[in-house]
Amino acid sequence: MANIILRYSCLAIMTLLAAVATKAQKLIKTDIAIFVQSVPQLPCLPEEVHRRYTKTTKHGEEFSYNEALNPPFEKVNAWIADIHDEEIKRKIRGHPRKDMSYKVQYDDEKLKLMLRPPAGPLALKKAASLGPAIKNIVSRLAELEKNFDWQSYYKQYDGFQKELIQKTAQWESKNQKLQDEIPVVQTEYGLQKDEKKQAALSAQMIREKTLFQNALYSRHCVAWSSSFQKYSKSIAVLQQLLLQINYGQQLSPDTQQLLLPLMADVQARALESIERMIWMEMILLERGEILFNEQRIGHFFMRK
């Protein structure tokens, strides 16, 4: 996968896309809980990102997460595409876009479907007149559905980005102010800023920048890990429930009509949440590598 450049805030993208209703998805009879365990976890320090995903070649250092993250990303992405394929193609046939390629429109429609309204509330209403065993299953599925809230994590990410911009602007303002206060002294080359004081200030400001960047990156990592673990645990519970009821195969036709679409929809949301988290992990890994290199350059000049 090519390097990712996040051009727009995740929250802004979600705001622009309208949540839409969709037909029943397919139910995948695969243990997705085992698959989720194969997704590498996000390192919480820039130097750990560099150590884990950088190898030395004859051309120098090469940073890449492709080997580790592309396989699970492509697998979950293929599952999601297959789940929504019929609906996406129907929408494209009905409203083909001349301003974008087929693939771009396909991905756009897929993301819109990922922002569909929850299915649980309507299913609970339909299950009100059914027996307690079925109502219990519907209730459990509706509760699990709430856990796959990747949009909430993306809002957190936008908050972190805004904080980073603010802290960087404050740091730059402070750095400029202190640089301006360094006295000018007479040297063999004429009047120049005091070299020792300038070097000491540069070292101090590099340390300050490293501290707030690493602290914020670590908070990014903790938030990502917390959300990923929540989705992972919920997927394990969902998988156990699907196995208990044998993917709904032994239910009566009327019960299947209610339960199968809900089961498939919740499973689809689980996969979508993991896909979104892997995508964000790629973005954060690139951010971690950029931080590592910026800090390595800064520390090099501190030693001079």
- Residue-wise pLDDT for 96-130, tens only, equals 998 999 999 998 988 888 889 999 999 999 998 88
> Which segment of 47-61, 190-204, 265-279, 288-302 scores lowest on mean pLDDT?
288-302
Q: Look up residue 188 and give its two tokens.
A: 């063999």
Give me the pLDDT at residue 302, please. Answer: 55
- Note the pTM of the prediction, 2 decimals: 0.84
Give me the pLDDT at residue 81, please. Answer: 83
DSSP string for the chain: -PPP---S-HHHHHHHSPP---PPPPPP-S-HHHHHHTSPPPPSSHHHHHHHHEEEETTEEEE--HHHHHHHHHHHHHHHHHHHHHHHHHHHHHS--TTS-HHHHHHHHHHHHHTPPPSHHHHHHHGGGS-HHHHHHHHHHHHHHHH--HHHHHHHHHHHHHHHHHHHHHHHHHHHHHHHHSPEEEETTEEEE-HHHHHHHHHHHHHHHHHHHHHHHHHHHHHHHHHHHHHHHHHHHHHHHHHHTGGGTTS-HHHHHHHHHHHHHHHHHHHHHHHHHHHHHHHHHHHHHHHHHHHHHHHHHHH-
> Which segment of 2-6, 164-168, 223-227 scores lowest on mean pLDDT?
2-6
Distance CA 275, CA 29 (A): 18
Q: Note whether 154 and 11 are within 8 A (CB).
A: yes
**Token pair 């595409």: residue:** 81
More confident residue, 185 or 168: 168
Q: Look up residue 162 and give its two tokens.
A: 């805004």
- Residue-wise pLDDT for 16-70, tens only, equals 333 333 445 678 888 999 999 999 999 999 999 999 999 998 889 999 999 999 9
> Which segment of 102-106, 167-171, 183-187 scores lowest on mean pLDDT?
183-187
Give me the pLDDT at residue 16, please. Answer: 35
Please say if the pLDDT value at position 10 is more than 80.
Answer: no
Burial string for 55-72 (b: 16+ CB within 10 Å, else e) reads eeeeeeeebebeebbeeb
